[in-house]
């Protein structure tokens, strides 16, 4: 008989007799090697783009940080608690922005899921429909072929002029 065959057979039998520890343990060590600590990026690359560009090419921006200017529409629960791109409603709130390609009336860009931590949202509780904002966010999913983004920064560029009630 071949010596290699006898040795390999002996190793397998020893592994089986010891509860599969021999070979299985070595495989587990290989599979569960502690990942090396990654150095934080010194300068995150931020891509300046438009909301419609992200919606039309969601996979292009996956795991990337983007910056867009938009018109705030409203706070929303759209997309929260969806298992495939989970952002729990206990910790997050969504926002909707208006479509850039429609200017004669307001239509929310519901294809883009934007999430803010509740702490960040509380800082911007005074946002009104029509306010111009700048958002820096990271796309974390393309579930349903839509972009799902975590908002890291939100800056109000211009507040909409409030119409005061006119007395007749």
The stretch 101-127 carries a mean pLDDT of 95
End-to-end CA distance of the chain: 107
pTM: 0.70
The answer to whether 150 and 115 are in contact (CB under 8 A) is yes
- Rounded distance between C-alpha atoms, residue 95 and residue 71, angstroms: 11
Strands 92-97 and 65-76: antiparallel
Per-residue pLDDT reduced to its tens digit, 50-79: 999 999 999 999 999 999 999 999 999 999
Q: Tell me which residue of 76, 156, 162, 79 sits closest to 124, measured CA to CA.
A: 156
Per-residue pLDDT reduced to its tens digit, 30-47: 444 444 444 444 457 999
CA contacts within 13 A on the Cβ side of 106: 12
The stretch 19-40 carries a mean pLDDT of 44
The domains located in the chain, with CATH, are 1-36 (no CATH), 46-158 (2.40.50.140)
Strands 113-117 and 148-158: parallel
The stretch 139-163 carries a mean pLDDT of 94
- Rounded distance between C-alpha atoms, residue 20 and residue 65, angstroms: 46
DSSP 2: -
DSSP code string of 59-121: GGGBT-EEEEEEEEEEEE-TTTT-GGG---TTTEEEEEEB-SS--SS--B-TTSEEEEEHHHH
């Amino acid at each position: 008989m071949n010596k290699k065959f006898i040795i390999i057979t002996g190793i397998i039998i020893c592994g089986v007799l010891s509860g599969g520890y021999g070979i299985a343990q070595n495989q587990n060590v290989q599979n569960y090697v502690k990942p090396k600590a990654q150095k934080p990026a010194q300068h995150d690359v931020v891509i300046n783009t438009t909301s419609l560009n992200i919606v039309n090419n969601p996979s292009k921006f996956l795991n990337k940080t983007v910056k867009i200017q938009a018109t705030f529409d409203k706070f929303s629960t759209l997309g929260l608690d969806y298992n495939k791109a989970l952002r729990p409603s206990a910790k997050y709130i969504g926002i909707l922005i208006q479509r850039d390609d429609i200017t004669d009336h307001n239509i929310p860009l519901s294809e883009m899921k934007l999430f803010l931590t509740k702490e960040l949202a509380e800082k911007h509780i005074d946002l009104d429909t029509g306010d111009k904002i700048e958002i820096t966010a990271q796309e974390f999913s393309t579930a349903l072929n839509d972009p799902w983004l975590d908002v890291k920064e939100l800056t109000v560029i211009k507040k909409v002029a409030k119409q005061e009630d006119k007395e007749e």
